[in-house]
């Protein structure tokens, strides 16, 4: 009796350190309260798996033209049909998903990492450094994201790397702001003062005492950033930016399919659906993460 009561009280926010039983309990509760969030998370995992192992499953080369099989409707051989060059749409979506995960995933990770470090430092140190950094962040946030990306693409050249740089530049200030707000709250707590009195180094205070409190919020913010990044990359692809034809890219596929949608709507449907489903799944997952944190805090 005593032992179980103890377990229930175990420090909540460290999902990593939770017992399996408790983790299971939280997940079950999530499934019960918000089944859609769980489905979203499963969807993201599905897309990720598809991106990882999909290329080994599909027999078609995503860029191989086959003029004899142009604009085929979905069939057993081509579950999503073929486009106007006779390329297999499913393969193109799988490879495109791979590209999009690689690009937005790495960009989000870099942005979240940089934002975390900057947010921790400026939040904790405060003063004029904080003022300067946050005003700079305000200035960056004032620019429309698509416009900034276009300018960068013009200046640095139309490449995937430029898109990555653009996403990082766009999202670092947002993440910094979120991290900083948590730090401002945590740094007034007596345990941080106790660490200062205890002669702890700044590094220890920032990364061992304060950072754990930031991570939950950061996880939610990271998931949200990820979904926005996917959206941005798809928009750019639609404009033909950041990708080189004939590389498979969801946004580009949608854009190319516009001319054919009356004749063979599936060419437009499947890449559009891929974008929508993935973005919705990631958003649902972010919502689920947020709920999990609320549960564990409320416990």
Q: Which residues bind other proteins (CB under 8 A)?
A: 1-2, 5-6, 9-14, 189-200, 202, 204, 208-209, 212-213
Q: Whole-angstrom Cα distance, residue 134 to residue 132?
A: 6
- Please report how close the Cβ of residue 194 comes to other proteins at its closest, in angstroms: 6
Residue 144 or residue 199: which is nearer to other proteins going by CB? Answer: 199
Residue 152 or residue 195: which is nearer to other proteins going by CB? Answer: 195
* Greatest distance between any 2 Cα atoms in the chain: 77
DSSP 209: I
DSSP 88: B
Residue 44 or residue 186: which is nearer to other proteins going by CB? Answer: 186
Q: Whole-angstrom Cα distance, residue 253 to residue 272?
A: 8
Residue 27 or residue 152: which is nearer to other proteins going by CB? Answer: 27
Residue 12 or residue 62: which is nearer to other proteins going by CB? Answer: 12
- Please report how close the Cβ of residue 13 comes to other proteins at its closest, in angstroms: 7
- Please report how close the Cβ of residue 207 comes to other proteins at its closest, in angstroms: 12
Contacts of 163 (CB under 8 A, 6+ apart): 103, 107, 149, 153, 233, 236, 241, 242
Residue 59 or residue 199: which is nearer to other proteins going by CB? Answer: 199
- Please report how close the Cβ of residue 9 comes to other proteins at its closest, in angstroms: 5
> Which SS3 state, helix, strand or coil, does residue 82 take?
strand
Ranges of beta strands (E only) in the chain are none
Residue 195 or residue 279: which is nearer to other proteins going by CB? Answer: 195
- Please report how close the Cβ of residue 15 comes to other proteins at its closest, in angstroms: 12
Q: Whole-angstrom Cα distance, residue 207 to residue 204?
A: 5
Give me Rg for the CA atoms of the chain.
Answer: 23
Report CA 195 to chain centroid distance, whole Å.
Answer: 34
Q: Identify any residues that bridge with 136 across adjacent strands, giving them in sequence order.
A: none
Output the six-digit token pair for 105: 């995933």
- Please report how close the Cβ of residue 196 comes to other proteins at its closest, in angstroms: 4
Residue 10 or residue 75: which is nearer to other proteins going by CB? Answer: 10
- Please report how close the Cβ of residue 76 comes to other proteins at its closest, in angstroms: 49
List own/partner pairs for 97-100 with CB under 8 A and 24 or more apart: 97/47, 97/50, 97/51, 97/54, 97/250, 97/274, 97/278, 98/51, 98/52, 98/54, 98/55, 99/160, 99/243, 99/247, 99/248, 99/249, 100/230, 100/233, 100/234, 100/249, 100/250, 100/278
- Please report how close the Cβ of residue 166 comes to other proteins at its closest, in angstroms: 34
C-beta of residue 150 within 8 angstroms of C-beta of residue 242: no
């Amino acid at each position: 009796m005593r032992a179980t009561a103890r377990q229930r009280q175990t420090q909540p926010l460290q999902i990593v350190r939770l017992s399996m039983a408790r983790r299971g309990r939280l997940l079950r509760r999530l499934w019960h309260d918000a089944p859609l969030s769980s489905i979203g998370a499963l969807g993201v995992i599905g897309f990720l798996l598809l991106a990882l192992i999909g290329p080994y499953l599909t027999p078609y080369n995503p860029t191989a033209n086959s003029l004899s099989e142009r604009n085929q409707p979905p069939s057993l051989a081509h579950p999503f049909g073929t486009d106007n060059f006779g390329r297999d749409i499913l393969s193109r979506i799988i490879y495109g998903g791979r590209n999009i995960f690689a690009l937005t995933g790495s960009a989000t990770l870099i942005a979240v990492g940089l934002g975390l470090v900057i947010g921790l430092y400026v939040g904790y140190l405060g003063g004029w450094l904080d003022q300067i950094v946050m005003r700079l962040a305000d200035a960056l946030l004032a620019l429309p994201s698509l416009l900034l990306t276009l300018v960068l693409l013009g200046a640095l050249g139309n490449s995937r790397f430029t898109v990555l740089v653009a996403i990082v530049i766009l999202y670092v200030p947002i993440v910094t702001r979120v991290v900083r707000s948590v730090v401002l709250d945590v740094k007034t707590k007596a345990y941080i003062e106790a660490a200062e009195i205890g002669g702890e180094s700044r590094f220890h205070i920032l990364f061992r005492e304060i950072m754990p409190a930031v991570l939950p919020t950061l996880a939610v913010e990271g998931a949200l950033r990820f979904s926005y990044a996917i959206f941005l990359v798809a928009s750019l692809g639609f404009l033909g930016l950041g990708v080189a034809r004939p590389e498979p890219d969801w946004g580009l596929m949608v854009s190319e399919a516009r001319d054919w949608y009356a004749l063979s709507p599936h060419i437009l449907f499947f890449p559009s659906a891929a974008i929508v489903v993935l973005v919705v799944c990631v958003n649902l997952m972010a919502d689920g993460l947020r709920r999990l944190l609320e549960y564990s805090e409320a416990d």
